[in-house]
Amino acid sequence: MTSPHKAAAGRRPKQGDGSQAKQEQLDTFTSDNAALLTTNQGLQIPDNHNSLRAGVRGPTLLEDFILREKITHFDHERIPERAVHARGSAAHGYFEVYKSMSQFTAAEFLQDPAVKTPVFVRFSTVAGSRGSADTVRDVRGFAVKFYTQQGNYDLVGNNIPVFFIQDAMKFPDLVHAVKPEPHHEMPQAASAHDTFWDFASLMPETTHMLMWAMSDRAIPRSLRMMEGFGVHTFRFINARGESHFVKFHWKPKLGIHGLAWDEAQKIAGKDADFHRRDLWEAIEAGDFPEWELGVQMIPQDKEHAFGFDLLDPTKLIPEEMVPVQRIGRMVLNRNPDNFFAETEQVAFHPGHVVPGIDFSNDPLLQGRLFSYTDTQISRLGGANFHELPINKGVCPFHNFQRDGMHRQTIARGQVAYEPNSLGDGKEFRVDGASAGFQSFPEALEPPKVRRRSPSFDDHFTQARLFFNSQTAPEKEHIIAAFRFELSKVEVPAVRQRMVDNLAHVDEKLARRVAEVLGIKPPDAKAAAGRAGFREHRFTMPIDESPALSMADTGGGSVKTRKVAILVADGIDSASLKVIREGIEQAGAQCKVVGPRLGTIASASKRQLEVDVTFVNTPSVMFDAVLVPAGAEGVRALAQNGDAVHFVLEAYKHCKAICTVGEGVQLLASLGIGEDPKAAPAGVVVAPTPVTNLGDATAAHQVAQDFVAAIAKHRHWDRANVDAVPA
């Protein structure tokens, strides 16, 4: 697919007097295909190894302009990283709408199912720096740039539908609190420290978001397996000027899946680029990630029909109250050509909208409309950041903005103002035209005040709804996350304030969290008596919302899941071949993991190629484990501590495991026998004796059972995993 900036370049006006040839030369030149090495001005460099000296052993001369250009450019290669969302990865793709949305919006890219709108998507963590790890517990950014024929539209969101705060006035405080503490710059990319929880415990409006952040949503298995949300309430405006409030959702085709917390921490040390690598490799392999765009639409006259305020960014609309309509799909099918030029220099802005999409009065959104422009000017060196190729639109544009740092457009003529009559001899004036972007003519309420609406006061009802909607294992993960985070807080009073707040969500939750923190039992009355604490509860028509749980998503697909096949000399390859074929036919990817690279010899003396080793690609990099049969091979695996740890760790992280014949011996230390009926959740024990699997039908059934176990993603209800020594 042609990139947006290349498509725009293809419409460049024809040039004469040799300038066309010059432009073609500039367009085709890259550092990869150049036969000569030159300066930035095109001067051929005769020697790229030695600076100009006064004699072969003398000092370097200041006049060496080639050296100075090279060093100066190197010195300025880095731009300031983003204050938040610094660590990111991205991809190109396209969006196509399923049917015309003209009834609700005039946005052209939401009208014609035959049109594929180019997109560029950047995923990111929020708190860490560019050098932090991918699998930290954090909110993930999910920002989509649509290159539409009406201009660029940026849907700037997160993987969580609500936010910590209600007003942009508190955003600098939130970020300062969650970032490394300023006196020693620790901890990196983590919220488990005093300043964050001090802030959160004094701001009850953070409670709903904290429930999400302490859930498995904050440690996704893959960027390809997480939802995205616009967070704020926006507007759809149709051609008749009619308004609907709208919430945006991205629904991943692969389902919503998370990591185990212990696993996430280990991956951070084993492969800090885990999510980035997973996205890149999937696209390179042709397993293009796909999401459906969903919307929740509320007519203008139903704005106050829910009991909670649609403008409050700490609230969501339960899908049981307003179903999500899936209106289109997005496919990411091309990796960036250059990380810096695209992923790092892309500039998103929630104020980049197109006709048919407008803002609400969400006070957090209103502040972001200022903040993003200010940030891009500082980070990218000036107001012309929109001219960078990755940010440039595919539609024609015309205005009288001029000059400034990094200006690339060469404006012609004497006119740089409006109205004018000197451009083409006619009067040019833009004054009250009906075309173009039109803000919704909303009536505003006086007076000007620095105060929040009482409708923003309820901080706990939706936090309670979220907790009630989780499965039992998911609730345990939330409790464990609060315990871990608050155990890192050194000031007991902060720990106490936080569990007192949690008592307003769920008394049992608060008590369970407090048990291991060396503080008093939670006291809801103490919390209610603190300054700034506002208790106001509305009545939710539902007690639970299944859509808020990550359980049973993905539709039974195992596409792109990674399965480790453990091998050593002497394993049985006869049954392995049939089982592996069944796994791969279902869409999963198998890797042979052994004690060394090269080949191993099976029991039948067949040579099997080893892809990776137990050490360089541990169990945390896989979704499931297969241990083949073969007495000699299994005996060798059982004597290899790395192999035993590999299996036990996968078991501890509740992954699907299949053992064939003697392979069950690797789980013997857990008391798991050969009886398939006695196997724990997610463990497939193939029938014995092994010779039975010489029957392809029996082996095929084992593969089917294993695929079904992998499709569950994790078997979080597996008993006694805490006792596993891994």
Concatenated DSSP letters of 490-548: --HHHHHHHHHHHTTT-HHHHHHHHTTTTSPPP-HHHHHTSTT-----PPPS-S--GGG
pLDDT at 591: 98
CA torsion 607→608→614→617, rounded to 10°? Answer: 140
Q: Which two tokens stand for residue 273?
A: 């680029």
Taking 90 as the threshold, does the pLDDT of residue 246 lie above it? yes
640 in catalytic set = no
Q: 222: closest CA among 486, 513, 562, 462? A: 562
Q: What is the pLDDT of residue 187?
A: 97
Q: Parallel, antiparallel, or unpaired for β 683-685 and 234-237? A: unpaired
pLDDT band for position 401 (cuts 50, 70, 90): confident
Q: How confident is the model at residue 33 (pLDDT cuts 50, 70, 90)?
A: low
The confidence score (pLDDT) of residue 543 equals 92
For 329-341, how does the pLDDT look when each residue is reduced to its tens digit (9 = 90+)?
999 999 999 999 9
Q: What average pLDDT does the segment 312-330 reach?
A: 97
Whose tokens are 């359980």? That residue is 551
- Model confidence over 538-562: pLDDT tens digits? 788 899 999 999 999 999 999 999 9
The answer to whether residue 3 scores a pLDDT higher than 50 is no
Whether 6 has a pLDDT exceeding 90, the answer reads no
At residue 608, the pLDDT reads 95
Query: Of 85, 349, 459, 713, which is the active-site residue?
Result: 85
Tokens of 172: 């600098």
- Paired sense of beta strands 140-148 and 151-158, if any: antiparallel
What pLDDT shows up at residue 167?
94
Tell me, letter by letter, the H, E, C secondary structure of 228-253.
EECCCCEEEECCCCCEEEEEEEEEEC
Which among 700, 711, 705, 712 is positioned nearest to 581, based on CA atoms?
Answer: 700
Tell me what pLDDT residue 694 has: 55
Task: Choose, from 5, 152, 158, 504, the residue flagged as catalytic.
Answer: 158
The pLDDT tens digits of the residues spanning 668-707 come to 877 776 566 678 889 998 865 444 555 678 888 899 999 9
Q: Is the pLDDT confidence value at 159 over 70? A: yes
- Enter the pTM of the model: 0.91
Mean pLDDT of 187-192: 97
Q: What is the pLDDT of residue 404?
A: 87
Q: For the segment 53-106, what is each residue's pLDDT rounded down to a tens digit?
A: 898 888 888 899 888 888 888 888 888 999 999 999 999 999 999 999 999 999
Share of the chain above pLDDT 70, in %: 93
Query: What pLDDT, on a 0 to 100 scale, did the predictor assign at position 48?
Result: 86
> What's the pLDDT score for residue 17?
47
Q: Does the active-site annotation cover 85?
A: yes
3-state secondary structure labels for all residues of 375-401: HHHHHCCCCCHHHCCCCCCCCCCCCCC
Tell me the one-letter amino acid at 589.
Q
pLDDT at 556: 92
Mean pLDDT of 352-367: 93
pLDDT of 283 above 50: yes
Q: Please tell me which residue, 36 or 240, carries the higher pLDDT value.
A: 240
pLDDT for 432 beyond 90: no
> Measured between alpha carbons, how far is 682 from 670 in angstroms, rounded to an integer?
14
- Distance (Å) of CA 638 to CA 539, 665, 666, 693: 57, 8, 6, 22
Selected residue with higher pLDDT from 307 and 522: 522
pLDDT at 585: 96
pLDDT for 689:
45
Mean pLDDT value across residues 395-403: 86
Residue type present at position 72: T
